[in-house]
Amino acid sequence: MTTGHVKRAFKYRFYPTDAQAAELSRTFGCVRKVYNMALEARTRAWQQGERVNYNATSAMLTAWKKTEEMAYLSEVSSVPLQQCLRHLQGAFVNFWEKRGRYPRFKSRKKSRRSAEYTSSAFRYRDGRLTLAKMRDPLEIVWSRPLPEGVDPSTVTVSQDGAGRWFVAILCDDPGVRPLPATEAAVGVDAGLEHLLTLSTGEKIANPRSERKDRARLAKAQRNLAKKAKGSANRAKAQRKAARVHARITDRRRDHLHKITTRLVRENQTLVIEDLTVRNMVKNRSLARAISDAAWSQFRSMLEYKAQWYGRDVVVVDRFFPSSKLCSTCGTLQEKMPLKIRTWTCQGCGTTHGRDVNAAKNLLAAGRAVQACGAGVRPQRSSPGGQSAMKQEVSRREP
């Protein structure tokens, strides 16, 4: 259940002046440089059986600024540089506690261009945001107002591959409160033919955001491949391809936000399956369609919105045979090939739609988890001893 105010980031697009764009680009470069240097120092220490913490890397940063070679680090705000060291510390903590991989170096071309400013490095007054080392406020398109009477705690400025500039303002949102409790519960089965199938029988269409722009994306990528490396024309072609990717990403995110918000508002309990998307995308014939469905992003949105509004998300073990189990009498079918979309139970004679039946079984399993406080027992006997992939991935996507 949510208590107190929720920390929420409000993201806006802005249009910097040439001077602001140059200052931010320098800051992005310095943040990446400091992060990589600190990671290299910590990696060397790690290989020698030592641990270097945030305080040690902060002292290193002070020493780097005093050298002639790295003096340019003093020309940008020190706050984003300190923040990247804190993020590196967090990455190492996640690694030590086995919640993440070992931190990786930031690439100039592939890494996200961003810088984080705390309250000491920006000024927010009367709807005008001014960052450290800048004279003029940012020209922000205020697509929605910030909550009244709250002060931002953190500001993150970023630029995507399409050249668009964004600012994410983190602050308390008193408007996010637990919703009135309800007895409604729903099982949610994810798939490709339909993005989601609910235990109520409703099927939510898969928008296939990437496939809609596949021809445009292929054309942009062909044009990019023809351009000479390092040329101005190649940079333009890269931005065009990035715009297509951004269009796909924006459309997909918007669709998922609408779905998850609706599900959380309508239901007290939401039961989903624990999908290992990282393993599933290793299937080369389905990887593109699985990535386009964005199941991981759906789960992430569902979980944090449920936490905001006082809802419960129950995750059922991925080995639970939701497709092969009759939701009416509980009879377990021996085989259930992917091509079978409807089937009749041998025990009670009920005819099931594969996805709706799976969603009903997930809901029943989720209720059992809530009732007894225990997880669903895993079914480990998969063919060949390998981890079972999601059964509802029904067909080869073109």
List, by residue number, the catalytic residues: 189, 273, 355
Structure tokens at 102: 């070992």
For 127: left if phi > 0, alpha if psi spans -120 to 50, otherwise beta; the answer is: left
CB 123 within 8 A of CB 81: no
| Strand 140-141 to 194-198 pairing | unpaired
CA distance linking residue 245 with residue 228, whole number of Å? 21
Residues paired with residue 315 on neighbouring β-strands, in sequence order: 272
Q: Are 122 and 130 in contact (CB under 8 A)?
A: yes
Q: Are 307 and 2 in contact (CB under 8 A)?
A: yes
Residue bearing tokens 């099931």: 352
Interatomic CA distance for residues 33 and 85, integer angstroms: 11
Q: How far apart are CA 22 and CA 250, in angstroms?
A: 26
Residue 225 C-alpha from the chain's centroid: 29
The tokens for 33 are: 């440089």
